[in-house]
Amino acid sequence: MKIPCKNELNSDNVELLLIDMDGTLGFSLIPEEDAINSALKWVSEEVTRIAGYLISEEEVMQLYKQIKIKQYKQYPLQTRRHDKRLRFTLLLEELSRSRHIELPANMIRKIMKIYWQVFQAEAAPYPKTHSTLEALKRRHKVVVITNNGKYEGEKKRRIFGLEPAKHYDLFITSEKLGGTCKPSEEYFKRVMQQVKSSLGIDVPTGRIAIIGDDPSGDITLANMSGVLSIRVKKDLHSSEQPKNDLEKACAEINEINELLTLL
Ligand SMILES: [Mg+2]
């Protein structure tokens, strides 16, 4: 463990900011939960219609949760564990197998359509996100890092209105990192390789800060990698307590624009 601070942020000379996207720059995780719930409600109605007897929303949700746990185990620290299309596909396969029903091939397309409709209606950048990034970019190199794959990452980047050059210097989805996820030392190593090859800079860990909303992902990654950590207490994880020392951030803020006084 290489935790570089003990509840105290030494922000002098911070040169490189690695900023998470979902929950940190925009409201995203609660909309995602709502989108999943709406999609599962539709699945329950549709399979009930096809089977001719009730397959309840609770039952479908339970099955979805089991498949998610399996997916996380099957793809440890890999982006495929977050792949919702894969998860819904596995759900349909399991429903079809266990209920001996044939489900139409276009069901997955309809599920994803519902998912993105609900997500898009609720998700949004925080009011101060754009101006904060613009100001930070004048003083630091700003790199957005996300566990999302390319398709999902790009879609959310557009929903959050994040523009290259204006809001960030580099945008890294997990595809660019060979499908690896936070929080692993390999993830950090690959991010730094990307930063070096794309921005031409080699920044020592003492001059890097990771900013994120998820204690078990972003803050753990920062502490494992020996860089400063700043937690943004927003969205689904806002009131979560750190479960161990690795989840404790050097500094905590409630709004993204507080970064401007910290850094
Ligand atoms: Mg996040």
Q: How far is the CA of 20 from the centre of ligand 1 (A)?
A: 6
Compute the chain's Rg from CA coordinates.
20
Task: Indicate whether 112 and 144 sit together in one domain.
Answer: no
One domain for residues 136 and 118: no
Predicted local distance difference test score (pLDDT) of residue 209: 95
Spatial CA neighbour of 191 closest among 213, 208, 176, 209: 176
- Considering 89, 122, 155, which residue would you say is the last residue of a domain? 122
For 64, the domain range is: 30-122
Lowest mean pLDDT among 69-78, 244-253, 254-263: 69-78
Give the helix/strand (H/E) hosting 145: strand 141-145
CA of 98 to the centre of ligand 1 (A): 35
233 C-alpha to ligand 1 centroid (Å):
10
pLDDT value of residue 185: 83
pTM over 0.85: yes
Give the DSSP per-residue string, 88-138: HHHHHHHHHHHHT----TTHHHHHHHHHHHHHHHH-EE-TTHHHHHHHHHH
Give per-residue pLDDT as tens, 164-188: 999 999 999 988 888 888 998 889 9
Q: Residues 63, 131: one domain?
A: no
Say how many Å lie between the CA of residue 218 and the centre of ligand 1.
Answer: 7
Residues 114 and 220 in one domain: no
Which pLDDT score is estimated for 81?
86
Q: Are residues 100 and 176 in the same domain?
A: no
Distance 48 CA to ligand 1 centre (A): 35
Do 227 and 141 lie in a common domain?
A: yes
Identity of the residue numbered 41: K
Can you tell me the distance from the alpha carbon of 222 to that of 203, in angstroms, rounded to the nearest whole number?
A: 14
* 187 in the same domain as 219: yes
Asked if 96 and 131 sit in the same domain, the reply is no
- Asked, for residue 75, whether it belongs to a domain, the answer is yes
pLDDT in tens, 104-155: 999 999 999 999 999 999 999 999 999 999 999 999 999 999 988 889 999 9
Burial 186-198 (b: 16+ CB within 10 A, else e): ebbebbbeebeee
Q: Is 6 inside any structural domain?
A: no
Looking at the structure of the chain, the number of domains it has is 2
